[in-house]
Structure 1
Amino acid sequence: MGLQGAIIEYMEQGRFICAMVLDEDSKRLRLINQNGREVNLPLSRLLHQSAKRHSLTLSRDEQLRLLKEADQNRQAMLPQIDLAGIWQLASEEEGASFSPAFLAELAFGEDATDNHVAAFLRSIFVDRLYFKYKEGQVLAHGPEAVAGLRLKQEREKEQEALMSTGAMMLKRLWDGDTATEWPERDRCLALLGDYYVFGNEAEESELARELLKKAGLTGPHDVYHLLIRSGVWQPHENVALLRYAIPVDFSGELSAAAAQAPEPVAEELVGRNRRDLRELPLLTIDGESTRDYDDALHVERRGDDFLVGIHISDVAHYVLPGTPIYAEAARRMTSLYFPETQIPMLPRALSEGVCSLVAGKARAAMSVMVLLSSKGEVLEFDLIPSLVQVKRQLSYPEAERLVASGDWELQALAKLSEQLKQRRIEKGALLLPVPDVNIRIDPEGKVSVALLPVDTISRSLVAEFMVLANTLSAQFVADRQAPGLFRAQDDPHQRLIAGGEKDLFSIFRQRKQLKPGELLVYPKPHSGVGVMQYTTVTSPIRRFLDLVMQHQIKQLLSGRGAMFSADELAGVAGDINTVLARVS
C-alpha cells in the first residue's frame, strides 16, 4: 500500500488518534501515535490516510510534533463544518455515495487538504445524524432515516439528563426532601412506577434499573415507598390494579349519566307488569360496611307451608344494552373489594343509589316468590317484576343476635335454609366452607387480619336462599329452552367426604379433587351445588353475568322471547372468563 510516512487516523475508546506509519504488512500497520506509543493497528481500523508522506528519518520529537499539530488543526476545524447544509445538497441524489474529499471541499469551500478531509470525517463520526462512513465512502441518510435518528438522539439526550440529575434528586426524595423539583421529575418517577409494576416487561426497564442503581435504591420495595413519599402513589397503593389496567374511576360522562337516573316513582312503575310489594316485611342481611344492597328476603306463613320472597334489585330497569353504562359494566364485569377500597361495577349513583335496596326507599326489583314446605321442598315458584321497600337493614352479627333472641322471621328463614341445605347435600352438593380472610386498614393505616366463618346461621341463611333463587331462575330459562349463562360442574374425580363436612384438612383434600367449573349457554348439572341447572342472578349490581341473565329473564317474562341469542351469550361467556381471570 505504500503507507510508510503517512499520517493516518483511527479511533480508540471513542477518541480520534493521529499516528505516523513506520512499517506495514498486508494486514497490519506499525505506528507511532500522538501520545508517543508504538501501536500495531489492523488495517480494518484505518479511518483516514494523508496524501503526503513524511520522512521516516525525522526525530521522534519531530514526529510527535507533526501528529499533535495535525490533531489540533483538525479539531479546530470541526465548528466550521455545517453538516446539515452539506446533507441538504448531498441528499438530493438518493442512494449516492461520495468521497470524503468531495464533501470536505463542499464544507470548506476550497481544495481539500489532508486536515480538511480528516476533520470532515471526524465530524460525521461525532454527529451521526446525516451521514455514515462505509468502506472509504460517505453515504447520506435519507430524510426518513434522519428523522428517526434525530428522535433517537433526543431520547438519548433525555436519558442522559435523567441519569445525570435523576439519581441525585431521587436520593434527595428518599431522604425526605419532598419539595425537590427538577425538569425530568415526572418523567423519572413515571418510568420507575412502570418498572415496579411491570418489572422487566416495562418499556424502559434497563434505564430504570440503572437509575435506581446509581441512586442506591436497590431494595425490592424502594420504588414503592419512594413513589408514596413523592405523592405519586397513595399509601397502600394497589399495584395489581395498575398491572392489569383495571379501571377504578368512572368518566365524568358516565357519572353524570348515572346521576340522572331518577328515584323510583311508585305510580309510574306499578301496573306496568310490576307488582307492588312494598307492604311486605323485607329485610337485608349484609356486611357492616355494605352500601350496595342487591338482595332482600321476606317470609310468610301459608298454612303449614311458607312463602319466601327473594327480592333482587332490578338493575336491568336502569342499565340497558347499548348504553355507555352497560358497556362499562361489560368492560369491568364485576365489583372488586379490597381492604382499603371498593371498585364498583356501576357508578355509585346506581350501585349505592337507585339500584341499592336501601331501607325505607321504594325500589324496582325482580322477586322470586317460592312456596316451600316445612321440609324445604319447592312446591311452586314465580318470578315477577316488583316494587319493594326494605323494612329492616341488618348486619350479619345483628341477624345472629335476632335469631338467638327468637325473631320469628329470621328463625323461620334459618330453619328453612337448613332444610334446603340438607336437600342439596342429599343430591350430592359439596359445601366445603372455608373461613373468609378479612383484612382491614383503619384510618391510621393499621392493618388487622381476622378469619370470619362462612357457615354461621346468618351467612348460611343468606347463601341458601341465594342458591335457591339462582337455581329457580336457571330452571325458568331452561324450561323455556332459551339460551342463558349457566354454571356447570362435573362430578369430582373422587368424592372423599360428605357434603356437610367442616374439617378444614378434609375440605382442602376434597377441593383438590374438584373438576373445573364451566360457563355454558345451555344447562348441565352442577355437581358442587347439587342441582340440575344453575346460574347467578342475585348480584346484578356487582356481577355482569347476573345483569345479563336479569335482562334475559325479564324479556322472557314479557313474552317477547329471548333478548340475547346463543351466539351473543357465548361471546359474553368468553369475555367473562377472560376478564375474571385477569382480576382474580
Structure 2
Amino acid sequence: MWVCNSIAEYSVFNSVIKPTYMLTYESASELLHLNLQEEAELRILSEAANLRSNWRCQQGAIETSTLDTRIKVSNPEDPEPSLKLYVENQADPAMRLVFEMMILCGEAIATFGSRNDIPLPYRGQPQSDINVSEFSHLPEGPVRSFALVKVMRAAEIDFRKPARHGVLGIPGYVQFTSPIRRYLDLLAHYQVKAFLRGEPPPFTAGKLEGIAAGINENIRTVRKLCNSSLRYWILEYLRRQPKEKSYRALVLRFLKDRIAALLLLEVGFQASAWVPLGSQIGDEVLVKVEEAHPRDDILFLKEVVSE
C-alpha cells in the first residue's frame, strides 16, 4: 500500500506464482497504448508505476533510461550465423512498469530486512555531488542520461543496514527480483526465507561480505566478456548491412573539434564520427558505415552530407 506513493504497508511471505500467459515488452506496451478493458490489471499496474516514478523523482531520483540492445545469434558456428537485433527503449511503458515494480520490491525487502535485523546486500548510492539542474539544458532521454551516468559514483553495499539509494530516490534497496540470474539475489532469498521459517539466517553479514567480494570479481569478468561479445556481433550486424544504408544518430558529446560521441538509434550502439559543422549536443544527424571489421574491433562512420 502507498501513502503519497511511498510504502505505507507491506507483507513478505512465501508464494508460488503461476503465469497464465506471457507478454513481450513490445506487446505489453501496445496493450497499454490500446487501453483495452480486458487488460485492466495491466493498466492499473502501469498507473501505479507512473505514480511511483513521479514520487521517486520528488525524492531526488535521477532518470537514466536509455536504449538497451540485445542480439540473438542463432547458429554461431556457421560461417554466416543468423543475427537478429533487438533495441528496447527503457522509457517505454512496459519496461518502465517492470523497472518500477522491481524497485518497489527492493525497497520493501530492504525495509523488511532492516526491521528484522536480517543481514542482506543493502545497496546504496550517494548522489550528493550531482547537481541535476546543471544538466537541464540537455534534452531528456539518452543524451541527458549519458551525461549523468558519466558523473555518478558506483553503488555501495552494506550487509548490516540499509543506506539511502540517492539515484533511485529511496531510503533503502536490495536487489531481490532475479534469483535465477544474480547470485546475490539468491543469497538474499536464502536469508529472508530462513527468517520466515523461524530459523536463523544461514549467513552472517561478514560471511555475505566475503562471498560478495568473490562474486563481484566474477561479475566484472563476465560483464566485460558480455560487452565484448555484444560489441562483436553488433559490428558484424553493421558489416552486413547495405553500404548505402544511413543511420540516425544522437550527438551525446564532443570528443574533439567536430568528432562526436554518437548513439546510433536503430542499433542502440555508441560510436564516434565527424558531424556536420554547427551540430550541437542532442542534435540528430545521419551517418553511414564506412568500414566495420568485428574481428579487429574497428568501426568507421561517415557523416551523410545533405545536398
Q: Deviations over 1:320-354 (max 9, x none)?
A: xxxxxxxxxxxxxxxxxxxxxxxxxxxxxxxxxxx
What corresponds to 2:21 in structure 1?
392
Q: Is the 8 A contact 1:428 1:528 kept in 2?
A: yes
The residue that corresponds to 2:73 in the other structure is: 441
Q: In structure 1, what is the equivalent of residue 110 of structure 2?
A: 474
Structure 2 distance, partners of 1:576, 1:459, is 27
Contact 2:71 2:84 in 1 (8 A): yes
Are the aligned partners of 1:519 and 1:573 in contact in 2 as well (CA < 8 Å)?
no
Task: Render the CA deviation track for 1:358-393: whole Å, top value 9, x for unaligned.
Answer: xxxxxxxxxxxxx246x6342311011123322222
Please, which of 79, 90, 95 is the counterpart of residue 454 of structure 1? 90
Size of the alignment, in residue pairs? 213
User: What secondary structure does 1:569 align onto?
Assistant: helix
Cα 1:518–1:455 shift into 2, 3 Å: same
Deviation at residue 442 of structure 1 after TM alignment: 4.4
More deviation, 435-444/568-577: 435-444
Distance verdict in 2 for CA 1:537–1:400, change over 3 Å: same
Equivalent residues in 2 for 1:404-443, closer than 5 Å: 404-406=33-35, 407-443=39-75
Structure 2 residue matching 1:436: 3-state secondary structure: strand
Cα-Cα RMSD: 2.2
Q: Deviations over 1:288-321 (max 9, x none)?
A: xxxxxxxxxxxxxxxxxxxxxxxxxxxxxxxxxx
Question: What 5-or-longer segments of structure 1 have no aligned partner?
Answer: 1-370
**What one-letter code is carried by the residue in structure 2 that aligns with 1:382?**
S
Q: Are 1:568 and 2:207 counterparts?
A: yes
Measured against aligned partners, the alpha-carbon deviations of 1:192-221 in whole angstroms (never above 9, x if no partner) come to xxxxxxxxxxxxxxxxxxxxxxxxxxxxxx
Among 175, 198, 202, the alignment partner of 1:559 is 198
Task: Tell me, in whole angstroms, the C-alpha distance in 2 between the residues paired with 1:561 and 1:578.
Answer: 28
1:4-29 CA-partner distances (Å, limit 9, x unpaired): xxxxxxxxxxxxxxxxxxxxxxxxxx
Pairwise mapping of residues 314-353 of structure 1 onto structure 2 (< 5 A)? none
Instruction: Give the aligned residue type for 1:528.
Output: V
| Whole-angstrom CA distance in 2 between matches of 1:506 and 1:526 | 20
Inter-CA distance 441–560: structure 2 relative to 1 (3 Å threshold): closer
Q: Secondary structure at the match of 1:438?
A: strand
- For 2:155, the equivalent position in structure 1 comes to 517
Name the CA distance, whole Å, in 1 between partners of 2:96 and 2:144: 20
CA distance in structure 2 between the partners assigned to 1:405 and 1:538 by the alignment:
28
Which residue is equivalent to 2:12?
Answer: 383
- How high is the sequence identity, in percent, across the aligned residues? 25
* TM-score of the two chains, using structure 1 as the length reference: 0.35
3-state SS in 2 of match to 1:469 = helix
Aligned to 2:131: 495
**Residue 391 to residue 372, structure 1, CA distance change in 2 (3 Å):** farther
Rounded to whole Å, the distance in 1 between the matches of 2:85 and 2:146 is 21
> In structure 2, do the counterparts of structure 1 residues 572 and 497 end up closer, same or farther at CA, with 3 Å as the change threshold?
farther
Q: Could you say what secondary structure the match of 1:530 adopts?
A: coil
Per-residue deviation, 1:438:
2.4
**2:180 alignment counterpart:** 541
In the alignment, which residue of structure 1 is the partner of 2:300?
Answer: none
Mapping of 1:78-227 within 5 angstroms?
Answer: none
* 2:151 maps to 1:526: no
In structure 2, the CA distance between the partners of 1:387 and 1:449, relative to structure 1 (3 Å rule), is: closer
Which AA in structure 2 matches 1:435?
L
Corresponding letter in the other structure for 2:165: H
Query: What SS does the aligned partner of 1:386 have?
Result: coil
* 8 Å Cα contact 1:429/1:527 also seen in 2: yes
Name the SS for the 1:482 alignment partner.
coil
Offset of residue 552 of structure 1: 0.4
Aligned to 1:505: 143
Aligned to 1:121: none
Deviation at 1:484, TM superposition (A): 1.3
Structure 2 alignment gaps of length 5 or more? 224-307
Amino acid at match of 2:217: T
After TM superposition, give the deviation of residue 448 of structure 1 in Å: 4.5
Partner in structure 2 of residue 486 of structure 1: 122
Distance 2:83 2:130 in 1: 40
Structure 1 residue 499: deviation in Å? 10
Relative contact order (alpha carbons < 8 A, sep ≥ 6): 1 or 2 greater? 2
